[in-house]
Amino acid sequence: MSERSTEHTTITIERHFNAPLPRVFSAWAIPEQKRQWFGCHGDWKPLDFHLDFRAGGSESNRVASTDGVVHAYQARYIDVVPNERFIYAFDMMLDDVRISVSLATVSFAEEPGGTKMTFVEQVVFLDGYGDNGSRLAGTEIGFDNLRLYVEGDDTRPN
C-alpha cells in the first residue's frame, strides 16, 4: 500500500476587472461563457464539460494533456448568491488518482470602473502529490483568461 498523507494550504487571489460585475459573475455561471476562459493550457484536448451553476448543482471538466494524462475536475456548488458570491467544493484527478480536494469561495464587489473578485481556495493535496506551486500558477493563468474574456470587445467572438 502506498504512503497516505495530506498537505494543507490556502490560496488567495484578488483580481480587478474593467468590466461590470454582472458580466464577471456570468462568465462563471453560464456554461457557454465559462468554456471560453476556464483552463490554463490552450493546447490540451477537451474531453467533456458540464456546468449546472446553482446551489446543489455540479460541474465537471476533463481534458487530456499533450502527453495523454487525463486531468479531471469535479465540483459541487454549495452556495450561490448571484452577483455576490459562490462557494463550491471540488476534487482534481490525474488519470484515476485523486491529487487534491478543495473548498473555494469566490466573492465579488463593484468598484469604480469595474469589479473586484476575491478567490480563496482551501486545498488538501493528497498522498505525496508534489504541487510545487502549479495550482496557484494554473489558477492565475485561468484568471488571466477570465480577464481577457470579460474585458474583451463585445463585437469580437470570445
Q: Check: CATH 3.40.50.1820 for 6-38+81-150?
A: no
Start-to-end CA distance of the chain, whole Å, equals 47
> What residues in the chain have per-residue pLDDT under 70?
1-2, 40, 153-158
Domain coordinates in residue numbering, the chain: 6-38+81-150
Residue 1's pLDDT is 41
Residue 2's pLDDT is 66
Residue 157's pLDDT is 42
Q: Which residues of 75-90 are buried (b: 16+ CB within 10 A; e: fewer)?
A: bebeebeeeeebbbeb
Residue 3's pLDDT is 85
Cβ atoms of 34 and 26 within 8 Å: the answer is no
pTM for this entry: 0.90
54: nearest Cα among 80, 72, 19: 80
